[in-house]
């Protein structure tokens, strides 16, 4: 039988917040809450107290992390719970960041260097003691009274500590120190994002250049590719374009080959990892090798049913800066203009975005190249040939894949 909330508080008073007995009781309740709903991602036993070691009463709270938009679908079962949406954070940290960017305050180099040294010196110890600590940053401003209704941002060099959820201390851990080596601490909510979202990260709104797949496998591994541009199709509505070999295996490509157009309905996913989610389905495909008078092409049309794009932006590439793009000069294609081949001059500069190659630059050379791709690992050895295609000479070498578990075209 599960202990009640009242019994939890009694155990806390008798044995202490860091006792093995209390941990065991909370672990049982956490498992129970987790099993109650498929919307629950995790349950974190925590406590609330400003003076845990001197207070006669400590509040035990279960932080329940739930899937997006399902905060009201989880039963608390008479336990004190704080329901937190996945990736939901208060705006306190954003307010501080905006104020800091807008401010023209100046501190001496010595002060800034001391903050940096303080962070480096104490980082390992802080990360070891506090399991919910995500980011440690030097900050020139400190947030005060965010939940009191009298929020203020003070100009004060401090150490900003970003946690998954503020105000709830994980069981068996101590609160953050108010001051570290002479610098006050400021606890905020947030997490580390390596960049705005690479091709193989989940995108709530699809972008040109993201990694997609349709459960085609080569050698037991998922084979995927890059989502191209978007079009408004007269029959299928908003669609994305990709190469046919990205979404069809060798047998399916053989069926499509040299047919005027063929419909082989398949579900398409993004990205190519455990976070994958379906966003649409293949509705049309063409694969013609071409001839002396006709250009070869292999292309598939994906009807977008979910996660519609917002603009013509691309994911973050590992070589953005090298390619000459940054936050003030982003790679994008918002015009939707298409240039006819007859208007393409030799050496017209072009950019290409690939999920594995990143941003590459080149120029059109001669019209009429021939390409061949063997589908290695396929039992029937089927590949594809394209005649009279455009040639593009890249000025940058394309890097090797870092994730060798994923094969891409």
Residues 26, 3: Cα–Cα separation, whole Å:
9
Residues 397 and 367 sit within 8 Å (Cβ to Cβ): no
Residues 60, 17: Cα–Cα separation, whole Å:
9
Residues 386 and 289 sit within 8 Å (Cβ to Cβ): yes
Cα-flanking dihedrals φ and ψ of residue 302, to 5°? -110, 115
User: 142 is written with which tokens?
Assistant: 């400190």
Q: Is 110 helix (H, G, I), strand (E, B) or coil?
A: helix
Identify the structural domains of the chain with CATH numbers, from first to last: 5-85 (3.30.300), 92-167+174-189 (no CATH), 211-408 (no CATH)
Residues 346 and 365 sit within 8 Å (Cβ to Cβ): yes
pLDDT tens for the chain, residues 1 to 409: 888 888 888 888 888 888 899 999 999 999 999 888 888 899 999 998 654 444 456 789 999 999 877 766 667 778 899 999 887 889 898 888 878 777 777 888 888 889 988 988 898 899 899 998 988 988 889 999 998 888 999 999 999 999 999 999 999 899 999 999 999 999 999 876 544 578 888 999 999 999 999 988 877 788 889 999 899 999 999 999 998 889 988 888 888 887 766 778 899 999 888 788 999 999 998 888 766 566 677 889 999 999 999 888 888 888 877 777 877 788 888 888 877 766 766 557 778 888 888 888 776 644 444 444 444 334 344 455 554 454 443 333 333 223 333 333 3
List C-alpha distances in Å: 78 to 75, 81, 93, 168, 234: 9, 9, 32, 19, 55
Q: Encode pLDDT of 333-370 as tens digits.
A: 888 887 776 676 655 777 888 888 888 877 664 444 44
- Whether pTM > 0.85 for this model: the answer is no
Residues 273, 316: Cα–Cα separation, whole Å:
17
């Amino acid at each position: 039988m599960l202990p009640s909330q009242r019994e939890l508080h009694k155990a806390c008073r008798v044995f202490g917040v860091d006792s093995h007995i209390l941990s065991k009781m909370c672990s049982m309740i956490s498992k129970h809450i987790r099993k109650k709903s498929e919307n629950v991602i995790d349950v974190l036993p925590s406590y609330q107290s400003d003076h845990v070691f001197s207070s006669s009463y400590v509040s035990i709270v279960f932080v329940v992390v739930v899937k997006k938009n399902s905060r009201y679908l989880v039963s608390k079962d008479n336990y004190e719970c704080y329901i937190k949406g996945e990736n939901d954070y208060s705006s306190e940290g954003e307010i501080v960041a905006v104020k800091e960017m807008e401010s023209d305050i100046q501190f001496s180099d010595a002060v800034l260097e001391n903050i940096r040294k303080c962070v480096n010196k104490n980082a390992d110890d802080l990360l070891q003691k506090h399991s919910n600590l995500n980011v440690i940053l030097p900050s020139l401003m400190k947030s005060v009274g965010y939940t009191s209704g009298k929020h203020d941002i003070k100009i004060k060099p401090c150490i900003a500590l970003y946690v998954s959820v503020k105000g709830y201390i994980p069981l068996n851990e101590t609160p953050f120190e108010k001051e570290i080596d002479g610098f006050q601490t400021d606890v905020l909510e947030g997490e580390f994002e390596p960049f705005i979202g690479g091709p193989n990260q989940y995108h709530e709104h699809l972008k040109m250049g993201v990694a997609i797949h349709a459960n085609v496998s080569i050698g037991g591994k998922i084979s995927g590719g890059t989502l191209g541009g978007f079009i408004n199709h007269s029959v299928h509505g908003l669609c994305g374009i990709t190469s046919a070999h990205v979404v069809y295996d060798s047998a399916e490509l053989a069926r499509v080959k040299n047919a005027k157009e063929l419909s082989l309905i398949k579900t398409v996913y993004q990205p190519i990892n455990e976070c994958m989610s379906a966003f649409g389905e293949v509705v049309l495909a063409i694969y013609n090798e071409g001839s002396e008078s006709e250009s070869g092409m292999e292309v598939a049309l994906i009807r977008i049913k979910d996660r519609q794009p917002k603009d013509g932006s691309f994911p973050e590439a590992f070589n953005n800066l090298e390619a000459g793009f940054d936050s003030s000069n982003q790679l994008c294609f918002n015009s939707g203009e298409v240039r006819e081949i007859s208007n393409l001059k030799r050496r017209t500069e072009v950019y290409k975005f690939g999920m594995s190659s990143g941003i590459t630059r080149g120029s059109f050379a001669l019209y009429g190249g021939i390409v061949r791709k063997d589908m290695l690992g396929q039992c029937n050895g089927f590949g594809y040939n394209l005649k009279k295609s455009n040639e593009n000479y890249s000025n940058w070498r394309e890097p090797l894949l870092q994730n060798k578990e994923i094969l891409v075209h």
